[in-house]
Every structure is written in C-alpha cells, then in structure tokens.
Amino acid sequence: MSTSSSPEMQQLASALAEGVASIRSSTSSDDLRTLMSALTGKKGAIATVKASLGKLTDIDARKALGSAVNDALNELHSAAETRSRELRTAEFAEQIQSERVDMTELALSARTTQRRGRMHLVTQATERLEDVFIGLGFQIAEGPEVETDFYNFEALNMPPSHPARSMWDTLFIESDVEGSVVLRTHTSPVQIRVMQEWPPPIYAVMPGRVFRKETPDATHMPVFHQIEGLVIDRGITFADLAGTIESFTKAFFGSGFTSRLRPSYFPFTEPSAEFDIRRPDGSWIELGGCGMVHPHVLRAGGLDPNEWSGFAFGFGIDRMAKERHGVNDLRDMYSDDVRFTEQFS
C-alpha cells in the first residue's frame, strides 16, 4: 500500500495545508495562540490522524504516518513562529503609533490655551530701575524691612521727639523697649547701613519694601516700594544730583520726559528737594525726594563731612510702574486679577 496516498496521509496533508493557511491569515498574537492550541490539541485534525496510527497494522505505513505527523506538527510550529514574529512586529509598530505623543501639537495648544505667568509690574519696574542705575555706574544694596528706631529715624537726623518723625505714619513692632523696633517707613535707613559697611566712594541704589499706616487710595498703599540712591565722593555738588536725576528720567521713562527739582524739606538732606517728572503731554508727577546728605547723617554713617560729601534720593517704585504703564489706580496693581496683570508683558 502506498503510504502517500493512504486516506490518513491525505487527511494529514489537507489538515496541514488548512492549518498553515489559517496560521498565515491569523490577525493577532492572541488569535494565533488560540488557533495553535486548536490545531495541535487533542481535538485537532492532526490528533485525529495520530489516533488512527494504532489501527494501522502495516509497520512501515505506521512509521511513515507517524513521522509524517511529526513533520506536520513541526511545520505548523515553524509556520506559527514565522507568523508570530510578523504579528509582533506589526503590533509593536501599532503600539508605538498609538502611544505617540505629538509634541508640536502640545506646544501649540499650550500656547493658545495655557496662561503664562508674568512678573508683577513692580518687580519688572524694580529690575529695570536696577539695570538703569547699574548702567549709570551704581551698585545694588539691600537692608532689613524690620528696622530699629536708630536706623529709621535717629541716624537720619531725627532724634527722639523730633517733629519730622510725624512725616511718616509708623507701624511699630512689639519689643522690650517700646517703640524701638519699626517696620521701616522708607528705604533711607539702608543709606546708613551702606555708609557703615562700604568704604567710600559709594555709588549705590537700594530697592525694597516699605510700610506706612495709610489708607489705600489711587496713589497710596500701606505697603509699597522705594528705591533709595546714595552717592558719596569727594566734591559732590547739587549739580551732580540734578544731572543724575535727569539722566535717570530719560533712561527709565524715555527721551520725551524731563525732570525738575522743587525745594522741600527732609531732615536727612540739606538742601532738600522734591523730584517731579514731566510727561510728554506737559503734566507733572511727583516721584520722590532728594537732597545733599546732611553732615549729621554722614557722621552717623561713620564718615567725615569735611572729607566726603554726597547726595541721596528716594523714589516710589509703585508710582513709577503706575506711570510707565498708564495704570490709573495703584490698588489695581495689587488686585491679583489676571485680567489686569495679563495686559502687561
């Protein structure tokens, strides 16, 4: 009997052909796994052929069919392996595609939907002021917000009970000696600290937060910012002060702005002046005080007034920011309303 044409052999051949075809057309690794257990399992077509082995009496025919069954199983496994590789490659590519994140799209949508934070107008103004003064040859210094009476008043030529102390509505900090510790009412105490610490000549600006017992309105805040300036050198005159203020005005506000000094009074400067700037439309706005450093103040800073002279100034930063950005009311700058802050970049 020819084994190749026996019914079992034919059955095996068609089971193999069908099996290989379905392996090749399987569409996923999971499908393939299920299919393989059906094809090679106890209930599969090949198992049925295998089961008929026992019925064959012809030894050669049995051997031939047995090895044909093994060959068929091997062939199925190798077809499955090939298909499995193809499927895994396709599935991996698909996974990559589905998990792909389009960064361009994200960046674009972030630009249109997410709000970016910005620095507060006063911070922006402070940084610009520092830049302008650094450009004019000044250095930056800072001092404490909680000050002693000595630095805030006494060293600035205001001994206890001096009437000029009432120029500023002072907030006091509880302390052992009542009234000896204050929230600084201006940045002028930093002048004394700088004179005590830095050997002259001194060209310094000192920005910072100051505190006064005031009711907020369009031009007043109880907490606001000043920038103090101090120049100490030999032979400094009032003309140097006026020139510095004019250079600063043009550098900060633009060439259309000019400055003027009006006689005024501060206990720590003599003579003293109020500093105004003139807008291009001709109106004036008061920005700060200034003057020649009083000899008592030079002494409190450890300097000899016969050797050194100098000028000082103190401007309100919040009012400058307000002016620069055309804001009507200082309180708007502290409202924390994004619709307001978003307008300024």
Q: Scanning residues 231 to 270, which ones bind ligand FA5 (CB under 6 A)?
A: 266, 269
Among 212, 250, 260, 299, binds ligand FA5 (CB under 6 A): 212
Part in contact with ligand FA5 (CB under 6 A); list of ranges 23-31, 53-61, 235-243, 280-288: 280-288
Q: Are 151 and 193 in contact (CB under 8 A)?
A: yes
Residue (50 or 184) nearer to ligand FA5, CB: 184
Instruction: Count Cβ atoms within 10 A of the Cβ of residue 209 and give its class: 0-12 exposed, 13-18 middle, 19 or more buried.
Output: middle
For the chain, the distance separating the N- and C-terminal CA atoms, rounded to the nearest angstrom, is 96
Q: Are 292 and 310 in contact (CB under 8 A)?
A: yes
Residue (147 or 228) nearer to ligand FA5, CB: 228
316 makes contact with ligand FA5 (CB under 6 A): yes
Among 75, 130, 214, 233, binds ligand FA5 (CB under 6 A): 214
CB of 183 to ligand FA5, least distance (A): 13
**Whole-angstrom Cα distance, residue 276 to residue 249?**
10
CB count, 10 Å around CB of 194? Answer: 22
CA 190, 192, 193 angle in degrees (round to 5)? 65
List all residues 6 or more positions away from 161 whose beta carbon is below 8 Å from its beta carbon. Answer: none
Q: Which single residue is written with the structure tokens 């206890």?
A: 160
224 makes contact with ligand FA5 (CB under 6 A): yes
211 makes contact with ligand FA5 (CB under 6 A): no
CB of 312 to ligand FA5, least distance (A): 4
**Whole-angstrom Cα distance, residue 273 to residue 261?**
6
CB of 181 to ligand FA5, least distance (A): 19
208 makes contact with ligand FA5 (CB under 6 A): no
Among 291, 298, 309, 333, binds ligand FA5 (CB under 6 A): 291
290 makes contact with ligand FA5 (CB under 6 A): yes
Among 153, 248, 252, 313, binds ligand FA5 (CB under 6 A): 313
Task: Determine the angle formed by the axes of helices 29-40 and 7-24, rounding to 10 degrees.
Answer: 170
The residue sitting closest to ligand FA5, measured at its beta carbon, is: 316
**Whole-angstrom Cα distance, residue 279 to residue 271?**
26
Binding site for ligand FA5 (CB under 6 A): 186, 188, 212, 214, 220-221, 224, 226, 228, 266, 269, 272, 286-291, 312-316, 318-319
